Amino acid sequence: MKTYRNTLRIRGDDAAMECASKEVFATTVEIISLKQKFIICPWFSRFCPVRRTRASLPLWAFAGYLFGMSILSASAQAAIQEPSVAPPTLLVAVDHRPTISLNGDWHTIVDPYGTGLYTFHGKLRTDGYFMNGYQAPGGEAPEYDFQKSPVLHVPRDWNTQRESLFFYEGPMWYEKDFSYRRKPGTRVFFHVGAANYRSYVWVNGQKVCEHEGGFTPFDCEVTSRLKDGGNFIVMAVDNTRLADGIPTLQTDWWNYGGLTRDVSLVEVPEQFIDDFDLHLKRGTQTVIEGWVHVAGAAPEAQTTVSIPELNVNEAAKVGTDGRATFQFEATKLEPWSPEHPRLYRVHIHPGQDDLEDEIGFRTVEVRGTQILLNGSPIFLRGVSIHAEAPYRTGRANNDEDMNMLLGWVHELGGNYVRLAHYPHDERMTRLADRMGILVWSEIPVYWAVEFDNPAVLVKAEQQLHEMIRRDRDKASIVLWSVANETPVTPARVEFLKALVAKAHEQDPARLVTAALLVRTEGMTKIIDDPLGEALDVIGFNEYIGWYEHTPEDADKTVWKIAYDKPLIVSEFGGDAKYGLHGEPDTRWTEEYQANLYRHQLLMLRGIRQLRGMSPWILMDFRSPRRPLPGIQDYFNRKGLISDQGEKKEAFYILQKAYKEGTIGETE
Ligand code: GCB
């Protein structure tokens, strides 16, 4: 699909709805008489010529608050009153809907200076790369051409696909041609599983949406933008790290950029299910409760939920809020558990739409210092995992990656994983559902984000919302985590308490946690972070024997815990390079790491209210913070398994403890 330069004036109509100054706006209107509205500029974007100015800041902060969504969505709504750039809807269970995959090769242009969007004076271009132009005979000569540009495979990060992109952080343009035929009575969404970190989407030269956040899905409505026959999508994905981003500038993982998860077109009827929550009611073994939200449904429209294997066929009417609520008895229900990960086919049918999901039903709750699964105390024998692909490295994004990672968890004797430090691919949580592995899922509120910046809270809330919405139907997820190792300040406590409250409000059926830092006084470790008051389960990280003291010092450590709640040690560990051997007190050797694990396990056994653990970490992973030549080579080596799948000695120490049950008091 090509666009002739001389058609730009017509097509530029909507394409000019990019971030721009007022001056550009005026010029644009004059040239192409836009049905244009206000023009906006996300202040933090590398694409943006006007970075945070005094005048724009209050306006943006205000817009962010007003709409309570991402800054992008909020600002888009405030500034551009056009349905095509409405905030991305979030469809749910997209992997259970028929979709038209747009995975595969996309043409790409690396654009470190944002030339595809801005002129040499930093003004918005009306003929930017989003127009997908090329040189027509006798026409002007655009200085780009997607068709002649190299391809990148989607889904996959760009860093591990092309050597020159290994350290690249910045904007990348993606383009894909496809043909399409509209079906009457349908709405069409462009679904992106994840794109790191900010995304801008145009269809046939017209802007359709923006999204911020690298690990959650978004959907752009493209119904009126598609035409019968040839179409093209252009995306700009920018993984520039931002001080006011979630995460922020510092992370101990690779900032893999690009379209890292599946992309597709999703066709839905005009009235469609855009959210639902069906779960086992706490305190019961057989009562299922919840609701189904139907977008576009008329009040009183009938929605049914049926579970044929349980002889359930229930109907309810949609209320004025678009929700049909349910509560019904399923007498033959077999609850989901790690030992018996029973999933049921659940049909949801609100008139026109029809969705079939696979759902497990279980309860999870806290009683004193116990975690109860289906009413019985449980210990979470786990390990932490990054979404790093075994062997080839890069973002994990296919079934093989997921099977391998969770297969190792089973081999360890585990029943639980902490999916650090951001929501992983939906394949992972689906697989955990099928394999019976309990999950801690987290948003990347990691280390020192701008806790005193209200706009950052809006972003965190957005990511939390998107994570919960995508995975509410997964029985495996028992814990939502709102943060990891954040510095204890009053602003941060308020910020995180707000997130905890949101998580409870959006999902009252699960537990909320965070990985806290621990205070040290001599050989005493103290957990008294004020955030603990708000959490259901307290996660804590400690690195005795690696970042402080010796592994043996764990034996003398005394624990003081201010809360009478269940505790999970969400991280402990130390580095070892696979194949490097030596004395147990020699750093980086497998023996050192194994020794550290032995002492840690002994110490942890003594913590009365410990109900779970996820040592750091299952497999070595890439990190730009780890340059030590010959040992790290840009890998964090705390894995129990190397990036090449080789098991280190410590793997077997943990496996023995899990399999023999020498760790894991449930009450
Ligand atoms: C931590 C972080 C984790 C790091 C780890 C380490 O506390 O939560 O993201 O990778 O320590 O290896 O230092």
The alpha helices in 34-70, defined as continuous H runs, are 56-67
**Residue 90, pLDDT score:** 87
User: How far apart, in whole angstroms, are the C-alpha atoms of residue 597 and residue 228?
Assistant: 61
Q: What distance in angstroms lies between residue 514's CA and the mean position of ligand 1's atoms?
A: 14
**Residue 32, pLDDT score:** 25
Nearest to 421 by CA among 484, 469, 468: 484
**Residue 139, pLDDT score:** 84
What number is the average pLDDT over the span 22-45? 27
pLDDT digit string, tens, across residues 187-218: 999 999 999 999 999 999 999 999 999 999 99
What number is the average pLDDT over the span 412-433? 98
Mutate to test the pocket of ligand 1, among 571, 626, 636 (most ligand atoms within 8 A of CB): 571
Has residue 649 got a pLDDT over 70? yes
Q: Which two tokens stand for residue 642?
A: 């190397």
Cα distance from N-terminal residue to C-terminal residue, the chain: 64
Q: Which atom of ligand 1 lies at the shortest distance from residue 485's CA? A: 8
**Residue 87, pLDDT score:** 65
- The helix or strand, by DSSP H or E, that contains position 376, with its residue range, turns out to be strand 376-377
Q: Which two tokens stand for residue 300?
A: 């009183």
User: How far apart, in whole angstroms, are the C-alpha atoms of residue 394 and residue 621?
Assistant: 9
| List of residues 6+ apart from 163 with CB closer than 8 A | none
Q: Is 308 left (phi over 0), alpha (psi -120 to 50) or beta?
A: alpha
**Residue 5, pLDDT score:** 28
pLDDT digit string, tens, across residues 222-277: 999 999 999 999 999 999 999 999 999 999 999 999 999 999 999 999 999 999 99
| List of residues 6+ apart from 91 with CB closer than 8 A | 97, 189, 191, 217, 219, 266, 268, 272, 274
**Residue 86, pLDDT score:** 55
Band the pLDDT of 76: cuts 50, 70, 90: very low
Pocket of ligand 1 (CB under 6 A): 252, 421, 484-485, 541, 571, 616, 636, 638
Q: Which atom of ligand 1 lies at the shortest distance from residue 636's CA? A: 12
Band the pLDDT of 25: cuts 50, 70, 90: very low
Length of the chain: 667
CB atoms within 10 A of CB 332: 10
pLDDT digit string, tens, across residues 543-575: 999 999 999 999 999 999 999 999 999 999 999
Q: What distance in angstroms lies between residue 538's CA and the mean position of ligand 1's atoms?
A: 17
User: How far apart, in whole angstroms, are the C-alpha atoms of residue 476 and residue 366?
Assistant: 16
What number is the average pLDDT over the span 295-321? 96
Q: What's the mean per-residue pLDDT of the chain? A: 88
Q: What distance in angstroms lies between residue 487's CA and the mean position of ligand 1's atoms?
A: 14
Q: What distance in angstroms lies between residue 251's CA and the mean position of ligand 1's atoms?
A: 9
Q: Which two tokens stand for residue 567?
A: 């505790």
Band the pLDDT of 299: cuts 50, 70, 90: confident
User: How far apart, in whole angstroms, are the C-alpha atoms of residue 575 and residue 532?
Assistant: 29
Poorest-pLDDT segment among 83-87, 312-316, 438-442: 83-87
**Residue 138, pLDDT score:** 86
Q: What distance in angstroms lies between residue 161's CA and the mean position of ligand 1's atoms?
A: 26
User: How far apart, in whole angstroms, are the C-alpha atoms of residue 461 and residue 548?
Assistant: 34
Has residue 68 got a pLDDT over 60? no
More confident residue, 351 or 485: 485
Partners of 211 in beta bridges: 199
Band the pLDDT of 63: cuts 50, 70, 90: very low
| List of residues 6+ apart from 269 with CB closer than 8 A | 185, 186, 187, 352, 353
Q: The tokens 């205000």 sit on which residue?
A: 62
Nearest to 427 by CA among 395, 455, 457, 452: 395
Q: What distance in angstroms lies between residue 485's CA and the mean position of ligand 1's atoms?
A: 9
If you take atom 4 of ligand 1, which residue's CA is the nearest one?
Answer: 252
Q: Would you give the DSSP letter of residue 50?
A: S
